[in-house]
Amino acid sequence: MNKTYTFNTTGSYYLESKEYYYPITAGDSVILTAGEATAYADYITENNTWKRPMDEQEVTTTGGAQTFTKTISNASAGTTQKIVVVTATVVDTLPTGGYVTVEALNSSGATVETRSLELGTLTDTSATYSFSGSWLNEVASYKVSGSVPQASGSNYTITLEISETDVSTCGYVDITNNGMVSGANDLDIQMKDSDGDDLSDSKGIVKVMVASDPIGSLAPATLMDGIAVGTDGELIETADDQRFFLMSELDGDVDLSLTPTNAGTPTVSICTFGTAAPTTGDTVTFGTEVYEFTTDGTTPLTDPDNIRIDMTGDGGAFTAVTTHTTAAQAFKYVFNNNTSYDAVASGAAAAITVTAIKFFVDYNSLATTTSITATATGAWEDTTFGGGTGSSTTGVDPTSSWYLLFELDNGKRFVSEQLPYRM
């Protein structure tokens, strides 16, 4: 595959495209074949990705629409799927009516293809617009244009940045099952190459299907009530709530969230601290685990099996325990780092919400008590985790299970474990 490389040493190099020795200056970017890259490996650095800003444009309330263009030479040519991303950053408000256009040019400067996307209204934010397709392969340069409307009300500033990447071959996926949170099954998906290494500096694309069994039978569309991605990755559904494509970030990562029609009910409770800081020897109990406050990291615990909360804050991501608020944060930090239960503690200030993310029913009978010396206070909503008093919620397991079937670039298929965990 042809790629773009930067030469580190000035000299004359034989290029197949020129059919003669060509003078090259250190710092020049040149498209090389795989054979040329191997021959000149000691003199070049591969340009896996690049980002180039266009000139910043200030658009006023007079003068009509404005168009600005930049041509990016030495595009990295190749036969693999390519993606060109244009990021628009706006200060103040860009009205509707703006477009970004990518024009692909061959080595003779002739236009191969032109595609445009509408910018929409943007206010003090950035947005990305992706272009992909076979027309982007084997081109010599891109001409990127922004056509933006006259400002309305006040001037605005817009900057476009262009980036290009190849789509890597995905030979394997690794799945971290984060369980059911707020009715959705959250998964971290890591795409890997055929050697089992995480993708780097390029995106991966895989076809995915929701299956009803481990042999990959298509699940009914009624099983899911929504499929989405989070901060990392992109999603294109080809059959609603059944089949879709996933595109990773440059590091191969995708945050995937599936919401089943019957998601069950997570077990939830809240532990609230109040009035003042706890005293040495005060305890908070969750199931079989007892968390004990001490003035430092060396004071003997009343029971050696207890889990220490160091009130000086040493070794923890919290300040010294001086108020009921810092006491709550200390408990939250130690709980998250030491609990043997698969639960998530969240919340602000002195009220810590603890939510189970799998095996909901198993959590309902766990003991939740405190022993806090006045004037400080600390209490759970119920004496059992899923008791149902106040904000305590009785957990109900999901009634459906599913699998994910991945079709990989090497022609193989991969089926996930049973999701979300077990019924």
Same fold, 51-168 and 172-264+403-415: no
- Taking the chain (423 residues) in runs of 10, the rounded mean pLDDT of each run is 70 72 77 76 67 62 76 56 77 88 82 86 83 72 83 85 71 86 87 84 86 90 91 87 89 92 90 95 95 92 94 84 93 88 84 88 93 96 94 89 88 87 52
Question: What local confidence, expressed as pLDDT, does residue 31 receive?
Answer: 65
CATH pick for 172-264+403-415 out of 1.10.405, 1.10.1740, 3.10.450, 2.60.40: 2.60.40
Q: How big is the chain by its Cα radius of gyration, in Å?
A: 28
**pLDDT for the residue 51:** 44
With contact defined as beta carbons under 8 Å apart, do 367 and 382 qualify? no
Separation in Å, CA 49 to CA 46, 129, 133, 413: 9, 17, 18, 29
Q: Is the pTM of this model over 0.85?
A: no
Query: For position 56, what pLDDT does the model report?
Result: 66
Check if CATH label 2.60.120 holds for domain 51-168. Answer: yes
Look at the alpha carbons of 131, 134, 135, 141 in this order and tell me if their dihedral is positive or negative.
Answer: positive
The residues spanned by each domain of the chain are: 3-46, 51-168, 172-264+403-415, 268-380
Cβ neighbours of residue 344 under 8 Å, at least 6 residues apart?
181, 336, 354, 355, 356, 357
Query: According to the model, what pLDDT value does residue 48 have?
Result: 46
3-state secondary structure the chain: CCEEEEECCCEEEEECCCCEEEEECCCCEEEECHHHHHHCHHHEEECCCEEEECCCEEECCCCCCEEEEEEEECCCCCCCCEEEEEEEEEEEEECCCCEEEEEEECCCCCEEEEEEEECCCEEEEEEEEEEECHHHCCCCEEEEEEEECCCCCCCEEEEEEEEEEEEECCCEEEEEEEEEECCEEEEEEEEECCCCCECCCCEEEEEEEEECCCCCCECCHHHEEEEEECCCCEEEEEECCCEEEEECCCCCEEEEEEEECCCCECCEEEEEEECCCCCCCCEEEECCEEEEEECCCCCCCCCCCCEEEECCCCCCCCCCCCCHHHHHHHHHHHHHHHCCCCEEEECCCCEEEEEECCCHHHHCCCEEEEECCCCCEEEECCCECCCCCCCCECCECCCCCEEEEEECCCCCEEECCCECCCC
